[in-house]
Structure formats: C-alpha cells, structure tokens
Amino acid sequence: MDEMKRTPKILDGIAIAGQIKAEVAVEVQALASRGITPGLAVILVGEVPASQIYVRSKVKTCGELGIFSEMLTPPESISTDEMLALVADLNAREDIDGILIQLPLPKHVDTKRLLEAVSPDKDVDGFHPINAGRLQSGQPGLAPCTPAGIMEILRRSGLPVAGQNAVVVGRSDIVGKPAAMMLLNASATVTVCHSKTADLGSFTREADLLVAAIGRAGFVTADMVKPGATLIDVGINRVTEAAEVEEFFPGDADRAATFAKRGSVVVGDIHPAAFAHSGAYTPVPGGVGALTIAMLMQNTVTAAKLRRGISLGNK
C-alpha cells in the first residue's frame, strides 16, 4: 500500500474505557448479589489542584459503577509515621479492598516506605514489589493501571502482539518496566530503550509496536517510526510556547484556539507528524490516559475477588 494513502486507525481510549467501565459495573452487580461491595480508599495529602481533580474523578467513577469509595485528606504537614499509621488502619479494614495513595506526596514524606506499607492485596496501583514480582512470574495479581490499559487497547482493537517487535521507550517503574513485562508475557519480542540509549532511532525504526513513555514532548519524531507501526503514546506534556504549538500542530485551527483560550495544549511523547506514517495510534488526549481510571476500577474489583478467593474468570 502506498504510504501516502494509508489511513491510520485511531485507537479511541475513551470508547475502550467506556467498555471496561460497563463490564466492571456488571461485575460489581454480581458481587452485590453475594453481599459484597468493593471498596476503594484514596489518600490525598495537602492541596495540589491537579491531584484534587484526578481524585475527584476517581471518586465520581466509583459512584457511577457502584464501588464504595472513601477519600482521606490529611494536611500537608502529616509525617511519614502518621501516614504509615493511616495505611495500617486501611490495611486492617475489611470494607476496603483497594488503597490508593495519590502522588506526588510532600517532600518530607517517605513515598517509597508508604507504597511498600500498603498490603500487596490492596495495592490497586500495582506498585508494590510483591505485585511487580507477581507480574514478572505471570501470577494473578494487581498490575499498574497505565500499562494494563495499554494491553487492553491492543487486545480490544484486535492488534497483534505475539511475535511482534515491541520497543518501549522509557523505563519507569510505573509504566516502562511493567509495560515491557506485560508485552513479554504476551509473547512480543521486547526492547527497552531510555534517555541513555545510543542511536535510539535504530531501535524505534524496527518496532512493529512502539510504546513511548519518556515524558518529553514530541521526543519520537516521524523519521524514527517504522511505516505501518502501531504507536502507543503514553506522554501527556503541556506545551506553553506559541512557537512549539506551531511546530507540533502546524495549521491546526482547533489546537490554536485551545492554546489561545488556555495558554497551553497537550502533546504526547510522539511528534504528531509521526502518526500519519503509522498503522494505528493512540491520540493525546483521548488515548492511553483515558484508560487509567477504568483500569483502577477493574483492579479494585479484582482485589475484592482475590481477597475473598472468588475466581477471576467468574465475571
């Protein structure tokens, strides 16, 4: 097929998230018939406006799906020991299946100690070392929400993973490493690249499936992409300079209007010009980010089932 005539498939994260939430609502109803209500506790420390928006969205979605949620809002002055006591209390509560600590935490709080203090069986973020180990060894458990969302996009869009050359750009514990492990578990041949990789383009141009999660606006350019590849863009970067908006979105009246109104636009880690060369891609916004809350809801229900010995196949 002539590359100029190829029409890339847009992978609609919002629509896929809607499917997942509808399925979770059915699972919640099935648990309710057995007298079980999955419960999620969200800890939000201090007054961080962006975090408040995320948390409100999570709590709202819980309500829509029939999941019990409790929001705890300790002051920014809270100590690590006081936070540990709060987590211990939630670990002990039978009505709480999932515990989510909204990051970032104040600098004086030991984030690593706190995340490891959450019971692995209630760790709906999938960050605990025990859950990382379960993921690596292919055991049922709670996987990080964003990489799990990536796998759902691929699966529900009918895109091949087994036998594909997959390249993950980024090696964070939250996205890069678990995404690489999930792709490996799904029988892809996986290469992990990062900011220190020499000649990055030589790897990305070989990728049938490219996951960009490095946190740099437009970092993967059109010349770094294999024609017809599937591009999964995890990045959410705010661009606040008019020149950058014009560079990333030349002639895009909608983006220009958004920039004029808000003073910023969002761009992913893949340069938008690269999408025209792809076979399929996730837009930013409306792609991977839309899946994160849906997968958090799924993890909360999964935790409720695993804690009670209910088969995960029994939806």
The tokens of 14 are what?
A: 């919002």
Annotation says 102 is catalytic: yes
Measure the CA–CA gap between 262 and 304, rounded to whole angstroms: 41
Measure the CA–CA gap between 122 and 150, rounded to whole angstroms: 22
- What is the pLDDT, as a whole number, of residue 3? 47
Annotation says 52 is catalytic: no
The closest alpha carbon to 153, from 267, 62, 36, 17, belongs to 17
pLDDT tens digit at each of 315 positions of the chain: 444 567 999 999 999 999 999 999 999 999 999 999 999 999 999 888 878 888 999 999 999 999 999 999 999 999 999 999 999 999 999 999 999 999 889 999 999 999 999 999 999 999 999 999 999 998 888 999 999 999 999 999 999 999 999 999 999 999 999 999 999 999 999 999 999 999 999 999 999 999 999 999 999 999 999 999 999 999 999 999 999 999 999 999 999 999 999 999 999 999 999 999 999 999 999 999 999 999 999 999 999 999 999 988 754
End-to-end CA distance of the chain: 42
Q: Which residues contact 302 (CB under 8 A, 6 or more apart)?
A: 142, 312
Report whether 288 contacts 271 (CB < 8 A): no
Q: Which residues contact 236 (CB under 8 A, 6 or more apart)?
A: 266, 268, 284, 285, 289
Measure the CA–CA gap between 68 and 284, rounded to whole angstroms: 31
- What is the pLDDT, as a whole number, of residue 5? 62
Measure the CA–CA gap between 124 and 303, rounded to whole angstroms: 7
What percent of the residues of the chain are helix, what percent strand, and what percent coil, each to the nearest 5? 45, 15, 40
Report whether 73 contacts 99 (CB < 8 A): no
The residue annotated as part of the active site, out of 125, 208, 233, 269, is 125
The residue annotated as part of the active site, out of 58, 122, 226, 305, is 58
Annotation says 58 is catalytic: yes
Report whether 288 contacts 149 (CB < 8 A): yes
Q: Which residues contact 308 (CB under 8 A, 6 or more apart)?
A: 36
- What is the pLDDT, as a whole number, of residue 51? 83
The residue annotated as part of the active site, out of 102, 123, 164, 177, is 102
- What is the pLDDT, as a whole number, of residue 121? 97
